[in-house]
Amino acid sequence: MLKSHFKIEFHSFEPFTNAVFPIPKMKSPVLNRFRPGLMALVLISAAIFGPQRGHLAAQENLKASVQFYIKAYGLSDPGANILIKRTYEIFDQVQRVADKRGYRVSGLKIVNNLSDPWTIALPDGHIILSVKAVEICYQGVERSRGDARMAFILGHELAHLANNDFWHMETFMALSGDQDPWSKRVKKILIGGTDESPASGGHRIALSKKREMEADDTGFVYAAIAGFSVETINDGRHHEENFFTYWMNQAHTQVDVSHPHPMERARLLQARLSRIKKKIDFFQFGVRLAHFGRYEDAVYFLQDFQKTFPSREVFNNLGYCYLKLGIKRMPSALAYEYWLPSVIDLSTRAERLVFREKGANIKLSDAARDSLRMSVSYFEKACFSDTMYVPSRLNLSVAYFYLGDIYKARAAVEEALKLEPDHTEAKGLRALIMYHEAPDVDMWPHAIKLLKDMSQRADVPPGILYNLAILLEKRKRSGEAQAVWERLVSAPETVPGLYEANVCRGAGAGARNCLPPKATADAPFPWRLPVKIGSDLLKDSHSRALLDKWNQTAYDWQNKMIRGHIYLSPNGSSALVVNDFVEMVVLRGRDLGTVEELTGRCGNPFAKIPVHEGEVWSYGPGWSVLIRDMKVHEVWVSE
C-alpha cells in the first residue's frame, strides 16, 4: 500500500527531444494561434512550476491514467511485431535491476502512435511508449545496438520513477485545455498574466537539466547491469553524431532550454562508461583474492565495485565470499563431508563445498550462521537481478542447506535446473538434497541411482564421483565405493588437497601419496615479476619509481586503515598495493608461454578449476595461471 503522503506526479520522458507530447488542438483560440511555439513554453513552465504544484490535478486528470493512452491509440500487438515483443523483454530485464524506492512498477504499455517518438511515466508506475520510438531505436542498426538504445531509454524512465520525478505533464495538461484550477493558473501565466514571481525560473530550468542528466546516468547504469551493450549507444553513423543528436534529427526537433545539449549528454555517458571500466580492476582483484582464500579482503574490493556497478556477478561473488567465511567458521565434520560446487563468477570456480551427515547433531556457531545469512542475502539479490542466472541459484541452494532450510535449498536447485536442465552439478546437488530432505523416508536408493547415472558420463565432474563413493560407503558398499575412488585417483589434478586423504583411503592405498606427485611449493616460477611480492614501497624506491609510471586508481576504506592503489601497466599487467605493500601481481601478455612449456618446468598443478573459456591452474598457495587455448593467458601471484 502506498503511504498517504506519497506525491502523485507525472513525468513525460523526453531524453532526446522536446517533442514528447504532440500539442493537440486547443480549446482556446489564443493558444491555437501560437501552437507551434507552445512546446518550448511547456518545458520552461514545467521547469519553473511543475515540481511544486498540481500533483492532485495530475492524479485526477484522465491523462494520468494508463487507460487514456490505450483508448486514444490502442495497444500494439507483440505477436505481430518482433521489435515490440523484444521491447517488452528488454523492459523486464531492465526493471529488475532498477531502484524501486517510493513507487511501484506496474509495467510497460506500447501504443500505436506511428508518427511521434515519446515515452511517458505515469504515477501508478506504468510506462507508455510509442511504436515510433521503438522504430527509431532499431532503425539502421544491428539488433544488439538497438537493444542497448531501448534499454537505455527505459532505464532513463525508470530512473525518473525512482525519484518520483514527473514534472512535465501538469503543464502539458494546462495547455491542452483542462479546466482544473492549477491548469487555469499556468495558462494565465503563459499567455501574459502573472501572479508568480519569475525569479526562480532560472533555478528551475537548471534543476530540470540536472534531473535529466541524472536520469541519463542512472538509466545507462541500469541498462549496463541488465547486460546490454551500452558502449554502442553513442556510436553514430558519422563521427559527429551521437544517439541524442540522431534522435533529434529523426524527430525533426531542436534543443530546448530545459534539457542539456546532446553533446553534453553524450559526454556524460562516456564519462560513466570510463568510470565503470576504471573500477573493473576492483572486481577482478576481488575475485582473485577470493581465489587465494582471502575472502575478507575480497569483500572490500567487491563492495567498492558494487557502488559503481551493482550487478548480478557482484552480488553472487559477495555471497560466495560470505559463504566461504561461514564454512571456515564451521566444524570440519559439518563442512567437508561432501564435495559440492560453489561458483565465483567470471574468473574462477572455487573448491567444492560440502553438506553435513544426515541427522548429525552439530550446531553452527553464531559467526558461521551470520556469514551464511549474509551470503543468502547477496545470492537472492543476484537471483532477482537476473532470472536466468544459474550460478547464484546453485550457491543459494548450498547456503540454505547449511542453514538447515532444506526445502528452500531444494527450491533453489530446482530453479537452476529449470534454466539448465542438463546442468550435471546441479543434478548432483539435487540428489544429495533429496537424500537429506525427508528424515523419515529412505531416499538413499533414489539418490544413488541419480548419481550412478551421472557417473557414466566421460566428463562427469569429480565431485559427483566423490559424493557417490561417500553415499555407497554409508550403506557398506565398500567394493562399489572403491571402484569409484580409483577413478578419482586416475585424475589427480582434479582432486583438491582437502579431499586427497579420503580418496587415497577409499582407493585402498591408505596413504596420501597414492596420487602422483604434483607441483610443489618450491616449483620454479618461470616468469620475472616487475615488482617483488611483499615489497614495502616506503623502502623499495626502485619498485615505487616503476609503479609511479603506471596508471593508478586509489582506494581508502575503514577510515584509511585499509588504503592503497591498483596499478595498471601499458601492456595490461597490474599490481595491487595495500598499505604500501605489494600484495598481488597479475601478468598479462602474449609471451607467457604454452601449457607444454609450463608443465615442463613446473609439473602438474595442484588443481585445475574450470572457468569461463578456460581453466585456472593452481600451483600452491602463492600463484595460479589462467589457461586458454593451451596457452598461459594470465599469471596471478599473491603474497
Which residue type is seen at 199?
A
pLDDT at position 380 is 92
Largest CA distance in the chain: 99
What local confidence, expressed as pLDDT, does residue 567 receive? 94
Give buried/exposed letters for 204-220 (b at 16+ CB in 10 A, else e).
bbebbbebbbbbbbbbb
Distance CA 451, CA 465 (A): 8
Domains of the chain, with CATH numbers?
11-260 (no CATH), 277-514 (1.25.40.10), 541-638 (no CATH)
So what's the pLDDT on residue 242?
A: 75
How would DSSP label each residue in 332-387?
HHHHSSS-B--EETTTEEPPPB--PPTT------HHHHHHHHHHHHHHHHHHHH-T
Residues in the chain, pLDDT under 70: 1-63, 99-106, 165-205, 235-241, 251-260, 333-337, 340-341, 343-363, 492-493, 496-498, 509-523, 612-613
- Sign for the pseudo-dihedral over CA of 30, 31, 32, 36: positive
Model pLDDT, residue 541: 92
* Nearest Cα residue to 611 out of 347, 290, 289: 347
pLDDT at 497: 66
Q: Does residue 272 sit in helix, strand or coil?
A: helix
Look-up of cell digits 558398499: 477
Cα–Cα nearest to 467, from 493, 428, 440: 428
Rounded (to 5) percent helix, strand, coil in the chain? 50, 10, 35
